[in-house]
Amino acid sequence: MSTQSKKKPFIGTAGIILFLSIAILVVFVAFPVILILFNAFWAKGEFNLVDVVNVLREPDTYQALLNSVFIACGTTIGSTIVGTFFAWLVTRTDLPYKNFMKGLFLVPFMLPSFIGALAWKMLLSPRAGYINRFFMDYFGFEEPVFNIYSYYGIMAVEVMYLFPFVFIQVCGALERMDPTLEESARISGAGLFTITRRITIPLVLPSILSGSLLIMLYSMAHFGTVAVLGIENGIFNIPTLIYERIHQSAGSFAAIRTGTVLATVLVVSAAFIIWLQGKILSKGRYQIIAGKSFRPMELKLRGLRYPLLIFCLAYIGFTIVLPTAVIFMVGGLKTYGLPFTMENLSLDNYKFILFDYKTTKDAIWNSVSLGLSAAVITMFAGVMISYVIVKMKVRGKGVLEFLGMLPFSVPGSVIALGVILAWSGKFGINLYNSVWIILVAYIARYMAFSLKANSAALEQVHDSLIEAARACGATMWQSLRDIVLPLVKPGMFAAFFLIFLPSLRELTVSIMLYAPTTRTIGVAIYTLNEDGETVMSAALAGIALVIIITGQTVISRLTGASAKG
Amino acid sequence: MSHVRLVNVTKRFGAVTAVDNLNFTLEKGECFSMLGPSGCGKTTTLRMVAGFEDLDDGEVYVGDRLLSSPAKNYYLPPEKRDFGMVFQAFAVWPHLSVYENVAFPLRIRKVASTEVKRRVSDALGATNLLEAANKSPDDLSGGGKQRVALARALAINPDVMLLDEPLSSLDPHLREEMRFEIKALQRQFGFCIIYVTHDQSEAMALSDRILVMRGGVAQQIDTPLNVYNSPANQFVFSFIGLSNFLEVRGEGGAYRLAGGDALPAGLAPPPEFAGNARLSLASRPAEIEFDDAPDAAAALRGTVVRKSYLGEIIDYLVRLGDQTIRVQKVRHSPGPEQGANCALRLLRPTWYVCADGE
């Protein structure tokens, strides 16, 4: 049987979409990364590995590397213990108000860690910190109780705001796990302790490890906390050293070189961590999804129920409420260092920042407009790219799949550095010192979020739905418009907010790219603090918190409602 | 002496009574099935026997040993009950090898290592898994996983085996095979089985006795044959096997099919049903004959509206006034063609009073 089919055009719709998708990823993500690698390995007109080693052997860079690894390890271990413990507590025990507590443990996600670090600096800096002063003034302590400007201070603050990564993963695994896996151990004669040790923990171990690696990845490349708490005492990690070098030497060759070499180390370790995570997840993705849903058994805490509840509440109070309160109170002070009395507190700073102070007004405007533009652009680009990766069968898709992995393994400071290399006029376009360069960097930075949300949504749309539309006579465009887009709308919605909200508090990328008139909220908070304007910095941080928390609440309402309806 | 004994067992979830005043006893070595539609309380009952749910009322015994009794404030946790149990979703531990899965209950009981080896090999041998001992359960098929679960339950050589829809995750062909394997294991090891299923043929094939449940209430406890031949009520009749129900209206001693002819004299309901306005005439499609003698006194008259060949069986749909009735005949017996008028004789007419809303 032979049917006369229409000759396929050389470049069809599919080809155009594929080309566009590849182009976007190349221009925004791959090109800057390649420039970094090129600058790192290509010196004096040749491929030069010796020089790379030399750069890494400089005491400052070597120390920064060690610091990044040390802080990341400490943070990871701490967060894993805290996250797993709380996850177990809210899923597998009869802790009172479990669901409410589960929600509370997610709040640290909303608090940008550099704002947290700022708060802890106010509370625990060796001389001026409120807690240290309190103990020295009233209890006659000779020394400050705790110096936040230290490795342990940095780790503690990072743990406070990063542990939800593990918490979420482990909660999910414990909730999804088939209860009969534990019940069959129980009917085999094992008690709860044995079951937890021999069955439950081994089964959720992949989730625990995957959350831990996420924290490792984040902490290695984390700028804010180390910048606020470390630089004071000469503690640099990779991102802060990159920033320091680029910032101080205004783009000298040596600085760029150190920067690109360090960035390469970050990219490589990020890629390694992501590879390891994929390996653990694919090997350990046990099929532990429940058939029948009977509730899993709960450990009866008995006498410990309320003490543990109080412990959880105290933890939240100490790590969330106290720092937030300090931010708002310091933001209300006339001058930093005054006691918190009624006559010293007012809303004047907040008014000044919102209506009169040009720096902060600009910063808020910049962040909102940058966030909106980046979210819209990245959302649409993400849908298109995910569509090609998940749904289309075209030649050359492999390239796109590889490129699509890239955004996940490129940390913010690397993107910033790459964007500087790419868009400072060397290649015909100079965006340096304008908001556009920040926008370009945001798009690269948040592409991963958009790809993740959109491909998850697209995977839910079964191929047969699209095929049914084609069988009904719809063209590819029509089936996209009438079937696919309406079905992936929730994913796009999610992508938009996953980008818009974090971009409002972005620091790592913006700090490397800002010019005097293009400060973002994060940059303004950070630089005000650096300049000793602690009170203004705190007030702006307070306003940022209000915006973030309001946004987050509105969204969880909206998405909660749309998920139900 | 009865081995497992449930006395007035009741379980409530909030306002819903999931199991209502249930009583039954099991003899040693008996296979006892709990059968019913989903939500009828059969799984909850099994979980109460296992100890995963506590009772709200009543008592559960094994032999002389009390397991649960809210009145006496006594509850033995599942890990102390020494049962074997197999779950629907296999529940074999993916992080342990097949061997370690089966050895787990023995290790918990601190059995000496040579003894563990012997008993695990016995259990694996009985379930044809010896060759898979060192494999990961994830490398086995669904049937293989369920064998691991069975072997694990066998390892402690329990007196009582609790099976919670153990075959419903398997494909139909394997299901039938495993059914006989379970039966063979029972003969070999002599445990008694409490078996939960919604599949009546599974219950029929395996059990010595069947408990049919509905809405938490026991409908009938009897041998498979009796449950099929003498259903205690209309629900049991409809739940077991194929069934026809014809609605019959009674008025002043005369009966007629709802929306159809008067009932032939030979088919009148027994005297104890007299006086009911609405009756239900139950029959099984296989227990209906096409009657050749056109003036038979007990025959219902109708028209064949559909005749379909289902392989060995011919399935007829016959219209009787406004109602229809299914008739099944084996292939070699000739019957009327589609569209033909016919007369039907019910071999075992069974009568029920129509409950309201049914």
Angstroms from B90 CA to nearest CA on chain A: 8
- List phi, psi (to 5°) of B344: -115, 140
Q: What is the pLDDT of residues B201-245, one digit of tens each?
A: 899 989 999 999 999 999 999 999 999 999 999 999 999 888 999
C-beta atoms surrounding B64 within 10 Å: 7
- The answer for B190, left when phi > 0, alpha when psi is -120 to 50, beta otherwise, is left
Q: What angle do CA A152, A158, A160 make, to 5 degrees?
A: 105
B85, B88, B153: residue with CB nearest A291? B88
C-alpha B239: how far from its chain's center?
Answer: 9
Name the band, by pLDDT with cuts 50, 70 and 90, for residue B36: very high
Residue numbers in A near B82 (CB within 8 A):
189
Query: Does residue A257 belong to any structural domain of this protein?
Result: yes
In terms of domains, do A91 and A157 share one? yes
Kindly list the residues from chain A whose CB atom is less than 8 angstroms away from the CB atom of residue B81: 187
Interface with B, mutate which of A176, A184, A298 (most B CBs under 10 A) = A184
In a domain, A526, yes or no: yes
How close is the nearest chain B Cα to the Cα of A280, in Å?
13
Q: In the sheet where B278-283 sits, what is the strand order? A: B254-257, B244-251, B278-283, B350-353
**What's the 3-state SS for B298-325?**
CCEEEEEEEEEEECCEEEEEEEECCEEE
| Contact yes or no for A188 and B105 at CB 8 A | yes
pLDDT digits (tens, 9 = 90+) for B255-276: 888 888 888 878 888 888 877 8
* A89–chain B nearest CA distance, Å: 21
Q: Looking at residue A360, which CATH number applies to its domain?
A: 1.10.3720.10
8 A C-beta contact, residue B108 and residue A190 = yes
Nearest CB among A181, A198, A202 relative to B91 is that of: A181
Please answer yes or no on whether B149 and A288 come within 8 Å at the CB atom: no
Q: b or e along A426-461 (b: 16 or more beta carbons within 10 Å of the residue's beta carbon)?
A: eeeeebeeebbbbbbbbbbbbbbbbbbbbbbbbeeb
CB A325 within 8 A of CB A116: no
B:168-197 residues touching chain A, CB 8 A cutoff: 169
First to last CA, chain A: 49
d(CA A305, CA B331): 69
Query: Residue A295's pLDDT is what?
Result: 64
Determine contact: B102 vs chain A, CB below 8 A: no
Domain finish residue from A318, A339, A360: A339
- Residue A49 covered by a domain: no
DSSP state letter for B128: T
pLDDT at A140: 79
Chain B residues inside the 8 Å CB shell of A181:
91, 93
Q: Identify which of A187, A190, A292 has the shortest CB distance to residue B83.
A: A187
CB distance B296 to B343 below 8 Å: yes
Residues of A in contact with B51 (CB under 8 A): 187
CA distances from A23 to A30, A34, A450 (A): 10, 14, 17
B38 at A interface, C-beta within 8 A: no
Task: Report if residue A52 sits inside a domain.
Answer: no
Q: Is the dihedral of CA A415, A420, A426, A427 positive or negative?
A: positive
Determine the structural domain holding residue A265 and report its residue range. 58-339
Could you say which DSSP state residue B190 is in? Answer: -
Q: What residue of A is the nearest CA neighbor of B168?
A: A291
Residue B294, both tokens: 């056109």
Q: Looking at this predicted complex, what is its ipTM?
A: 0.78
DSSP assignment string, B282-296: EE-GGGEEE--STT-
Q: What is the pLDDT of residue A284?
A: 59
Using CA coordinates, name the residue in chain A closest to B161: A187
Partner A contacted by B77 (CB < 8 A):
yes
Taking the CA atoms of A469, A471, A474 and A475 in sequence, report the sign of the dihedral they define. positive
Please answer whether residues A323 and A120 qualify as being in contact, where contact means their C-beta atoms are separated by less than 8 angstroms. Answer: yes
Check residue A476 and give its pLDDT: 77
pLDDT at residue B324, as a whole number: 92
Please tell me whether residues A301 and A365 are part of one structural domain. no
Same domain, A309 and A447: no
The rounded distance, in Å, linking the Cα atoms of A321 and A121 is 15
Domains of chain B: 4-238 (3.40.50.300), 242-353 (2.40.50.100)
How far B23 CA sits from the closest chain A CA (Å)?
23
Any chain B CB within 8 A of the CB of A346? no
Tally of structural domains, chain A: 2
Q: How far apart are the first and last CA of chain B?
A: 41
Residues, chain B, total?
A: 358
Pairing of strands B16-27, B2-13: antiparallel
Average pLDDT over residues B4-33: 92
Residues 6+ apart with CB under 8 A from A288: A173, A176, A177, A178, A181, A203, B94
Structure tokens at B3: 């081995």
Strand B209-214, strand B254-257: pairing: unpaired
Query: Would you call A203 and B94 a contact, using CB atoms and an 8 Å cutoff?
Result: yes
Residues A402 and A547 in one domain: yes
Q: Is residue A12 domain-shared with residue A103, that is, in the same domain?
A: no
Q: B286 and B338 in contact (C-beta within 8 Å)?
A: no
pLDDT at B355: 67
* CB-based contact A292 B82, cutoff 8 Å: no
3-class secondary-structure state, position B160: strand
Instruction: Kindly tell me if the per-residue pLDDT of B296 is higher than 80.
Output: no
Model pLDDT, residue A294: 56
Closest CA to B344 of B324, B254, B247: B324
Helices (H), chain B: 42-50, 98-108, 113-126, 142-154, 172-189, 200-206, 224-229, 234-239
Show which of residues 205-234 on chain A sit within 8 Å of chain B, judged by CB atoms.
205
Residue B244 touches chain A, beta carbons under 8 Å: no
Q: Is B84 an interface residue toward A (CB < 8 Å)?
A: yes
What averages of pLDDT result for each successive group of 10 residues across chain A (565 residues)?
A: 48 79 90 88 77 86 92 96 93 88 86 90 86 83 84 94 91 85 89 88 88 91 91 89 84 80 90 86 60 63 89 93 92 83 84 87 92 93 89 78 81 89 81 88 90 85 81 81 84 85 89 88 92 90 90 78 44
DSSP A306-317: HHHHHHHHHHHI
User: Residues 6 or more apart from A289 whose CB is under 8 A from it?
Assistant: A176, A178
Q: Which residues pair with B316 in a beta bridge?
A: B307, B327
Kindly state whether residues A333 and A358 are assigned to the same domain. no
Contact B162, B84 (CB under 8 A): yes
**Is A345 a member of any domain?**
no
pLDDT at residue number B235: 92
Q: Is B146 on the interface with A (CB under 8 A)?
A: no
- Pairwise CB contact (< 8 Å): A186 & B138: no
Name the residue of chain A whose CA is nearest to B91's CA. A181
Out of A188, A189, A291, name the one closest to residue B89 (CB): A291
- In this complex, which of B47, B109, B149 lies closest to A189 when CB atoms are compared? B109
| The Cα angle at residue A546 between residues A369 and A454, in degrees rounded to 5 | 55
Residues A335 and A356 in one domain: no
Question: Do residues A110 and A134 make contact, with C-beta atoms less than 8 angstroms apart?
Answer: no
Residue B16's beta-bridge partner residues? B13
A283 with A361, same domain? no
Q: Which residues of A touch B153 (CB under 8 A)?
A: 187
Contact call for A183 and B108, based on CB within 8 A: no
> Does residue A50 lie in a domain region?
no
Tokens of A510: 């913006």
Q: Which residue type is seen at B143?
A: G
Query: What is the sign of the dihedral through the CA atoms of B93, B98, B102 and B107?
Result: negative
Domain assignment present for A382: yes
Residues of B in contact with A292 (CB under 8 A): 43, 88-89
Q: Which residues, 6+ apart, have CB-to-CB distance to B15 below 8 Å?
A: none
* Contacts (Cβ under 8 Å, ≥6 apart) of A335: A535
Orientation of helix A412-422 relative to helix A253-284, angle to 10°: 140
Q: Kindly state whether B137 is in contact with chain A, defined as any CB-CB distance less than 8 angstroms.
A: no
When CB atoms are compared, the residue of A183, A187, A203 closest to B95 is A203
Residue where a domain terminates, one of A304, A320, A339: A339
Residues A308 and A382 in one domain: no
Beta-bridge mates of residue B193:
B31, B161
* Helices and strands (DSSP H and E) totals, chain A: 28, 2
Asked if residue A344 belongs to a domain, the reply is: no
Option in B81, B95, B169 nearest A202 (CB)? B95
pLDDT for position B293: 67
Q: Which of A339, A371, A406 is the last residue of a domain?
A: A339
Ramachandran category for residue A479: left, alpha or beta (phi over 0 → left; psi -120 to 50 → alpha): alpha
Give the CA count within 13 Å in the CB-facing half-sphere of B173.
0
- Cβ B88–A180 below 8 Å, yes or no? yes
